[in-house]
Amino acid sequence: MTTHPVPSDFETRTNATYDALMWALSRPGLIRHMPETGQAGVIEALLDRECKAHCADPALASSVARTGAALVASDHADHLFFDSLPDADTLEQINLGSDLYPEIGATLVCNAVLGQGVHLRLSGPGCNGPVDVQVAGLPDGFWQNRARLMRYPMGFEVFLIDGAQVLGLPRSCHVEVL
Amino acid sequence: MSLKSLTKTWEPMSYGFLDASAKREIRRKMLKAIAVPGCQIPYASREVPMARGWGTGGLQVSCTLINPGMQVKVIDQGADDSVNAASIRKFLARVSGAPTTMNTLEADLIQSRHRIPEEKLREDQILVLQVPNPEPLRPVQPNMSIARQMHADADYGRMWLQLYEQIVRSGRVMQGASYPSLVNGRFVMTPSPIPRWDVPKMDMAAHLTILSAGREKRLHAVPPYTRVEPLVFDDVPYRVEEHAALTCSRSGARGFFMNEIPQGDGTSTYEVSDSELGVKTIRCRDGEAAQVGETWYKSGEMV
């Protein structure tokens, strides 16, 4: 009789975290649930020695270091993790990739409060008509700076984390502040 | 940090065959592919126990996504029971313990070679297409570095010229499969060699499509509710294969994409290409309980 491998806890956790991230990015505005709270799950599902990460929070930095990813300045990072964004100007340092290599554009992961705060209307790929969400906890000017910096297909992805909830915003998503 | 914290418990093999670092790389690349629909994202494309060109790209994506709670369906040119489909399905089940199904409505993950099922896919379903050649510009620009620059510049003039030349020479667009299509108004992609019949199914579809070419080491994606427009001239409308009036000789299904079965006397009979749809149609005809989902085409017309 053939037996099949049983997923380890690590595999189950990272698979479920990635599933949430993938669907969050595929359907912007629809909040998904990760198996665990916080950004550490995102780090273990995505990062390894091939990555360059920027991490402002020392506790998370040790999680990043454990994956083998290099800790670098924000303008050199392919993944950026922020407990709370200091100001909207931070976005200007994020790598946008190039028209030739759009995939080099970075991924920004930061904490926010979902379901409260500023009203946003999302449209673009993944949105079946306009999708309205509320997000709080981001610095003033965040959405204006994001819109100004995006030069599709150049740009960066944003994952907003609230506990175990995640909201994904691909660069193709148009965000209107209501 | 200790040495123990950097190691993991010994396992006889990785779950889902691929090791964790291969999965992480494919995960990162898939996220970028979803964020830039239609853009070809390079990835390492690891070895799998199957020859390149037989669906290794799709298999790597499936191995990354799979978990024991996922129902898997594998199809090859519409058929669940061909050698390629049966082998991949058996492999996926063996390395993951995931249940397999042939029913499109039950499947969570559908790996397909060159067809999109006739039954509509839902918002929670993932379609993984195996792609032999992901570069739509290859017939007009064999140098992949220059082709990449052309994608960067959205320089698709030669694609249009190729289509124009086909119309001038033959009176119609001769591209049978892999019809070049514009995704989200920006990138032209080759939607794997699915027939022209299937291309309109991708436009604003509810499901997530991931197209992966293992030999060429690139993947691209079409997220749900994304515009996919076949390249057409205003005065030469896009035409799908003329299968609307054909009837399946085995099941009696009508108005779907058919396989032509040449006969000894020079004539042809037809068989519905989506084998599971044929099986369901036969079951319904015989009075058995079989649920046929809503289909993209009704009476041979795209709804």
Where are chain B's structural domains? 20-227, 241-285
Residue A4 covered by a domain: no
Give the pLDDT band (50/70/90) at residue B172: confident
Low-confidence ranges of chain A (pLDDT < 50): none
A149's tokens: 């910096």
* A63–B contact, CB cutoff 8 A: no
Domain that residue A119 falls in: 9-177
3-state secondary structure B133-145: CCCCCCCCCCCHH
Q: Quick one: CA torsion of A134, A139, A143, A144, rounded to 10 degrees?
A: 140
- pLDDT score of B12: 84
Most B CBs within 10 Å, among A6, A48, A50, A103, to test the B interface: A103
B3-19: average pLDDT: 86
Cβ neighbours of A50 in B, within 8 Å: 21, 25
Residue A125 covered by a domain: yes
- Of the candidates A8, A16, A36, the one whose C-alpha atom is nearest the C-alpha of residue B65 is A16
CATH superfamily of B20-227: Bacterial phosphonate metabolism protein PhnH (3.40.50.11310)
CATH number of domain containing A72: 3.40.50.11310
Most A CBs within 10 Å, among B23, B31, B109, to test the A interface: B31
- pLDDT score of A5: 86
Residue A94 covered by a domain: yes
Residue A87 covered by a domain: yes
pLDDT single digits (tens) B55-102: 999 999 999 999 999 999 999 999 999 999 999 999 999 999 999 999
3-state SS, residue B269: strand
pLDDT single digits (tens) B279-290: 999 999 999 988
- pLDDT score of B120: 97
* A98–B contact, CB cutoff 8 A: yes
- Between chains, do A2 and B94 touch, taking CB under 8 Å as contact? yes
Provide the domain count of chain A: 1
- pLDDT score of A4: 77
- pLDDT score of A123: 97
pLDDT single digits (tens) B233-271: 999 999 999 999 999 999 999 999 999 999 999 999 999
Nearest CA in chain B to A15: B65
* A41–B contact, CB cutoff 8 A: no
Instruction: Check pLDDT > 80 for residue B6.
Output: no
CA distance B39 to B204: 17
Residue A54 covered by a domain: yes
Instruction: Check pLDDT > 60 for residue B50.
Output: yes
Q: Annotate B60-78 with b (16+ C-beta within 10 A) or e (fewer).
A: bbbbbbbbbebbbbbbbbb
